[in-house]
């Protein structure tokens, strides 16, 4: 299975961002990939909740979802939309979810996942993020399945800040995930110290491939994303890194490497009970 991560910076307009994405998707298709992955907030990124609510859509009305589904079908390729800001009615109120979509090569939604862990942090006096004031938290972990070249691949779905919660990744691996996707808009201030270490740790702990498409560049409010979209082997080796500019990276996913890693260090199969004094 050949997987691609597409790295770029989303604009505040989904139409403008899609004009940037579609040629990149076409270029990736020419390289005979089976799965193309896009980052978190794949088609637009706004500076506050009120602007995000204006641009967000209900799933059935989403222009981004419509275009990417058509693209997947036209090019006969599977596409992971890292996330779209998606509206939903809950208890007679309009709620906003940060939702990842896996679109199969028929243009059909294979699986969708709502980000569970909200990025609520105070990094410095001037850098405070409270995603829980913007999005509703998801409640269910998800594993999708794709049949590629006669083999079934199970794909655990996460989003960005989820990377800091190893139990989620362990649970996905225990329930059969071969690959775990981590679409992100990872901030530079933490990314330079933590991004690669976290990705490699989650791969080593689970024996899974980690596929992490990320945004790059500078935004409003002095925000800067780290870039470095990465594909990590089950042994924790960086197979490909997109560095800090618009880029496409591609790596092969070999299920035999998953088996090898887990046979050497079978930690996901151990559930030791212990006490803490």
Catalytic residues: 40, 115, 160
**Which neighbouring-strand residues pair with 226?**
216
| Burial environment of residue 165 by CB neighbours within 10 A (0 to 12, 13 to 18, 19 or more) | middle
The tally of CA atoms less than 13 A away on the side-chain side of residue 129 is: 18
Cα 237–chain centre separation: 19
Measured in degrees and rounded to the nearest 5, phi and psi for residue 71 equal -65, -45
Helices (runs of H) and strands (runs of E) counted in the chain? 6, 17
- The dihedral formed by the CA atoms of 42, 44, 45 and 49, expressed in degrees to the nearest 10: -120
């Amino acid at each position: 299975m050949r997987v691609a991560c597409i790295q770029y910076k989303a604009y505040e307009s989904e139409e403008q961002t899609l004009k940037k994405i579609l040629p990149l998707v076409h270029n990736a298709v020419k390289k005979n990939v089976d799965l193309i992955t896009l980052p978190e907030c794949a088609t637009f990124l706004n500076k506050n909740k009120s602007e995000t609510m204006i641009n967000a859509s209900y799933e059935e009305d989403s222009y981004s979802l419509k275009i990417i589904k058509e693209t997947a079908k036209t090019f006969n390729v599977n596409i992971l939309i890292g996330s779209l800001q998606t509206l939903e009615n809950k208890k007679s109120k309009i709620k906003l979810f940060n939702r990842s979509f896996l679109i199969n090569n028929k243009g059909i939604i294979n699986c969708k996942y709502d980000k569970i862990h909200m990025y609520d942090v105070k990094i410095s006096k001037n850098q405070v993020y409270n995603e829980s004031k913007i999005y509703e938290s998801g409640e269910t972990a998800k594993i999708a399945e794709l049949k590629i070249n006669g083999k079934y691949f199970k794909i655990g779905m996460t989003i960005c800040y989820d990377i800091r919660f190893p139990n989620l990744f362990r649970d996905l691996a225990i329930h059969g995930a071969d690959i775990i996707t981590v679409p992100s808009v990872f901030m530079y201030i933490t990314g330079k110290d933590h991004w690669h270490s976290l990705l490699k740790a989650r791969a080593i702990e689970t024996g899974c491939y980690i596929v992490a498409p990320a945004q790059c560049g500078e935004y409003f409010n002095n925000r800067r994303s780290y870039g470095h979209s990465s594909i990590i082997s089950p042994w924790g080796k960086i197979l490909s890194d997109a560095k800090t500019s618009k880029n496409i990276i591609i790596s092969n996913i070999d299920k035999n490497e998953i088996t090898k890693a887990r046979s050497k260090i079978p930690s996901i199969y151990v559930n030791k009970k212990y006490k803490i004094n």
